[in-house]
Structure 1
C-alpha cells in the first residue's frame, strides 16, 4: 500500500471514529431481561458502529418514573432511550420524540391498542416492545395428585389451594402455601386489585368516560375476598411481595398457585428450576356469582427517545431495531416476553418455546387497561390511592366498605368535579 493510500485509510478511520456516537439506554434493571437488553444493544452496535451504554436505573417502577421525570425536565441528556411502563406515555409524552418519521409504518403490525396507548396528541411517543397480562400459574402435578381441576372462580382457587396446602403440610412440606401474588405498596398491587374488581363486575375505578365508579357492592366483595386469602392460603409476607418474591416462592416449590406476568414462565421452566415440567398457566379466576368476567391487567414495556437527546435520530434507530420482529422473536423464545407484533403469534418457533402464547393471544386482545389514559398526569396519584386503601383492607386496618368510600373521596379530590372528561 502506498503512503498516500495509508494516509487516506487513516483519515477515513479517524472520520469514522469522529462520527461514532454513544447512545445511553435505560432498560430493565436486573435479571434475564437486562441481559437480553444488553445483547440487543450490542447487536445494534456491531451493525451500526455506534456504541450503547446501559444506564443503571431503579428496579422499583415508582422510583424509575421519578428518575425519568427529573432527567427529562432537566433536558440533561443523561438518557437517550427510555424503557417505559405501559401507563407512562401519557405522563411523559411532552418530553418524548415523535417516532412516526422513523417507523416507516411498522406500527401497523403491532397490536392496535398498545399503539393507541403510545400515541399522545397524534404523536407516536413510544414503540411497543413487549406485552404483559396477568396470568395464573399452577402446579399441574399437585392438582393431579389431589384430583383437582384448574380453578375457574376465586372460590374454586381458595378451595383447591387450601386442600393441597393442608395435604402437603401434613406430609412434611411445612413451607408450602396455596397462593402467592403481589401485595407490596406499589403498582403491582394496583394490577392485582384491578383484576379482583373487574372479575367481580365492579368496574375499573374510573370508566372511559371519566366517571368514578369504584364505590359499588362488587368492588367491596372483591376486596373482602382478597383479604380472606391472607393467613389462609396466602402468607402474611405476601404484603411485602413483588413479582420476584412471588416467583421465588413458586419456583422453589413453595406455592401451589401464583399470579404473575408471562416472563416467569421461562424462568420456572429453566434447567435448574425445581418445578420444571410441573407447571401450567391459565387465565386468572372470576367471581362465580356477580356477573364478573375473566380479567387480566394489560401490562408491557415500551421504548421511547428523549425529545432533547443530542443523538435523537440514532436513538430512534436503536428503538426501531430493538422493537423489530427479529429481536422480539428472540426475546420471546429466550425470555417468554410476549411480542407486540401480532404476526409473531403464528410463529412456530415461538409457540414451540411458549405453548401458552397461542392461548394468550386472545387474553392480550381483551386485557383490561388501567385507568391511566383517562386520568392522564394524575394516574400516579390515582394508582397510589388504590394500593394504599387496598392495603388497609388486606392488613386488617379497615373494612372493605370503608376503604372503597375513602378511595372514592380521594378520586373525587383528584378529579375535576369528581370526573375526568
Structure 2
C-alpha cells in the first residue's frame, strides 16, 4: 500500500482521500504514537477540509491521543505550533497548490519537521495490517480548540526589520494566509494592496498554484499601481513567489539565490536547483548542499549539516532560525526586508546570472512510475556521447561538461514524470529538452 508521496497523502476528495481513509490515518498516527500525547490539527480552506479534520481527529482520540484543533491556518502555523507547544505530532490537512477538488494529509514531528519517508511507511504498514490500538472508554483522547495565529504573528515580527514605506501588492489566492500576511506587512509599515485575500475553498480568484499564468492580474496591478513588488502564496502558504516592480515574474532560482546570498554559510537545496546558486554562493564564501526534492529532506539536511537556510526552487523555503517547517509567510517578509534595504527588486534579480531553463512534465500513471524510472536510470546515460556526471540522489540528473544538465524524476504529488533542463545556451537547452521528452514518451 502506497499512500504517501513527496508531500504527505495527496489526492482528489472522494476518489483517493475520503473520510474513511482519514479515520484510518488518525488511528494509525495514534498507534504510532502509542496513544500518548497531544496532536495539533489544522486545515486549509478547501471545502473537504473539515470533513477530513473531524474524521482524522476521531481516529486520533479513539487511539488515546489528545487533539488540539487550531482551525483554518497556513501550513507554517501548523508546523510552528507543533514545535512551540511541544506536541507529540502535528497534522496539516491541505493539498497545497493542487486544484480545489484535491486535499491531503501531512504529518509533522514534535520539532516542526515533516515526517520522514520511513515514518510514513510505518503509518502505511499500520493501516495495511489494521494493527490499531484502541483506548478504553475511560482513556479516550480529548479535543480542544486553540488560536495559535496571534502568537505566530507576534514571533514573526520579532525576526524581521523592514524599512517602512514600501508598496506591496499581495495575492493570497483565497488561501489560508489571507488574514495573516497582509496584516503583518501593514504592521511593518508597508502600504498593502490586497488581491484574493478572502479565504474560499473554491479558489474563485485563481488556481492555487502561483505560476506566471495564474498571476497575470498580480503582475499587471504591480506595474499599474507603481508598487515596489508583488508577492503571492499557494493554498496553504508554504510557498512564496514574487513579481518585481516592472511587473515581471521573478525567476524561482534567482529568488532562492537572493535569499541564500543574504544568509550565507551552508545552504541546503534540492537536485533541481540552478547552478547559479553555486556560483553566487562562492562569491560570499558559502556552500551548497543538495538533497532529494521535498521539504522533509531539506529539513533533515539543515539539522545534519547545521545549515543557515534551505529551499526548493518552487518557492518552498525553510528558515531554521524561526522554524523547520516550510514557511511562505516568513519568506515573504524576508524578501520585503531585503528590498526595503537594498532594492529595487529588479536590479537585485538582474545581478544574478541567468541561464536557459525548461521545466516540463509528461503524463505517467503512478503505477508505471517505478518501472519507467528504472528504465531511465539504465538508458538515459546512453543518450549522451560526451563526458557526463550522473547523480541518482533523486531521479536521474545528468551533468555535462559545458555546465548544462538534465534531471528526470517522478512527481511525488501528481501522475507525471518531471523534466528539468538548464543550459547556458538556448539552443543547447532546446536540444536537451527535445531529446529528453522523446526519450521519455517512448518509454512511457
TM-score, length-scaled by structure 2: 0.26
Structure showing greater radius of gyration is: 1
TM-score normalised by length of structure 1: 0.27
Structure with higher strand content: 2
Which protein, 1 or 2, shows the higher relative CO under an 8 Å CA cutoff with sep ≥ 6? 1
